Amino acid sequence: MPTSPTPDAGQPAAQRPLTRQDAKTLALAALGGALEFYDFIIYVFLAPVIGQLFFPPNTSDVLRQLQTFGVFAVAYFARPLGGIIMAHFGDRSGRKRMFALSVFMMAVPTLLIGILPTYATAGYAAPLALLALRVLQGAAVGGEVPGAWVFVSEHVPERRVGFACGTLTAGLTFGILLGSLVARAVNEAYTPEEVRTFGWRIPFILGGVFGFFAVFLRRWLAETPVFEEMRQRKALVRELPIKAVLRGHGVAVTVSMLLTWVLTAGIVVVILMTPTLLQQHYAISPTHALKANSMATLSLTFGCIAFGLAADRFGVGRALGAGCIALLVTVYLFYRGVAGAPERLVELYALTGFCVGVVGVVPTVMVRAFPAAVRFSGISFSYNVAYAIFGGLTPPAVTLLTNTNRLSPAYYVAALCGVGLLVAIYLLSVGRSRFAAVSAS
């Protein structure tokens, strides 16, 4: 985290207002991110039908669910390698080029998933092909998310980094909303048998089209002023960026990984897994569960922007701490409320979704924790390795725990809110400039 506006030469003046060009950059980056993230997460909204189609029919429901979420989790394990490679070139040759490549790498496998043969046609080759394409998607998103945060943060004034990162994160979460709406539309337009026969393919084929549209959108974006200034001054990192990160920024990496763990609890459990859990453990119909999820994700989109603004206004420590407390309370009320008053599902889910918006603070901490020369690599390594571990293991772990206690998802998220609160206390105690000095040591 820079100690003043000057450590990263070429950074926009801290006090200037957002310009029309800044707004255009934020809008295009957020829209492109939404379309790419839709491609990555549409799988989870169709997990029940995918499990029925891509695994042997005599598999037990619990094992089929574990296998389906296991394929989902494998994509997270592919994120570190893809992210680190793209971040390497992003720190050495430019942010924009990798920003466009990640979208293309996502669009192709998404389209191919939509035309894959199922187990009934191809046997075990079907789940293996699905697994391979999910690996490619994981590698793509591993470069997309950190690259997007770096890209927008280096285009805006330093005092508006929270808003920029919150807006970009809102764009990513809007991709989740888009996935939820498309999955809901498919379930409403077709009978369950029609969904199993052909309807499940529609969201993936649409995703491929969305992805190629996002590639086109990113042609209009310019390289970041920060990177251009470093290139002109010949100040780009000369050694391997990841080597510099691991040698000199241990505290920044640790804080970033812990906050990524918190982020996975909110996004993976509350937003991505909950619709399936509601259907399986609370006897809520797919249509109603997805409707509630749509409202929660819409609230999350606004929550990311609100918490990003709060980070700029009150500081990342205070915004993070307040958000973690709010999420801890609301997620417990949500799961208790679903069990006792299922008719309040939509309202409770929407409130919880807004509080998940605290994840909008996470990238602000990350981009300020690493100097510009290794920022892409630092964030990519920390975020993707942590997401591979925690995001990958969370679905099967929560699935197993929920089979013994329906409130397990709430307990898990609450525990991670405690981790986030401890990080917030640390940030408040050391202060911004001291954290920068420790991170760089």
Could you give the CA distance from residue 313 to residue 306 in angstroms, rounded to a whole number?
10
Report CA-CA distances (Å) from 107 to 81, 137, 140, 250: 19, 8, 9, 34
* Per-residue pLDDT in tens (0 to 9) along the chain, 441 residues: 433 333 343 444 556 677 788 888 888 888 888 888 888 888 878 888 888 888 888 877 778 777 787 787 777 788 888 888 888 888 887 787 787 788 888 889 999 999 999 988 988 899 999 999 999 988 888 888 888 899 889 888 888 999 999 999 999 989 888 887 898 889 889 998 999 899 999 999 999 988 888 888 777 788 888 888 888 887 777 778 888 888 888 999 999 999 999 999 999 899 888 988 888 888 888 778 878 988 999 999 999 999 999 999 999 999 999 999 999 999 999 998 887 777 889 999 999 999 999 999 999 999 999 988 889 899 999 999 998 888 778 888 888 888 888 889 999 999 999 999 999 999 998 876 556 555 544
DSSP H or E stretch at residue 139: helix 125-153
For residue 104, count other CB atoms closer than 10 A to its CB: 15
List phi, psi (to 5°) of 282: -125, 10
Produce one character per residue of 367-380: b if its CB has 16 or more CB atoms within 10 Å, e if not: bbbbbbbbbbbbbb
State the alpha helices, DSSP H only, in 218-285.
225-232, 241-248, 250-264, 274-281
**Measured distance CA(142)–CA(84) in Å, rounded:** 8
- pLDDT value of residue 258: 96
* Alpha carbon distance, N-terminus to C-terminus of the chain: 12
Question: Length of the chain, please?
Answer: 441
How far is it, in rounded angstroms, from Cα 185 to Cα 206? 13
Query: How many angstroms separate the CA atoms of 364 and 314, rounded?
Result: 13
* Torsion on CA atoms 151, 89, 218, 78, rounded to nearest 10: -90
- Quote the pLDDT of residue 396: 81
Residue 33 sits at φ, ψ, to 5 deg, of -65, -40
Count the Cβ atoms, other than its own, within 10 Å of residue 343.
8
Q: Angle 89-94-97 (CA atoms, 0-180°, nearest 5)?
A: 85
Domain ranges of the chain: 22-439
pLDDT value of residue 9: 39
- Give me the pLDDT at residue 432, please: 61
Q: What would the CATH number be for the domain defined by 22-439?
A: 1.20.1250.20
pLDDT score, position 1? 41
Cβ-based neighbours of 185, under 8 Å, separated by 6 or more: none
Give the Å distances, CA to CA, from 139 to 40, 82, 172, 409. Answer: 11, 4, 16, 27
- What is the reported pLDDT for 5? 36
pTM of this prediction? Answer: 0.83
Predicted confidence at residue 382, as pLDDT, reads: 94
Exposure string of 357-366, with b = 16+ CB inside 10 Å and e = fewer, is bbbbbbbbbb
Q: At what angle do helices 201-217 and 161-189 cross, to 10 degrees?
A: 150
Give the per-residue SS3 of 354-373: HHHHHHHHHHHHHHHHCCHH
**354 Cβ neighbours under 8 A, 6+ residues apart:** 299, 300, 302, 303, 306
Could you give the CA distance from residue 155 to residue 250 in angstroms, rounded to a whole number? 26
pLDDT at 10: 41
Q: How much is the pLDDT for 239?
A: 74
**Residue type present at position 351:** L
pLDDT on residue 12:
41
| Residue 431 φ/ψ region, left for φ over 0, alpha for ψ in the -120 to 50 degree band, beta for the rest | left
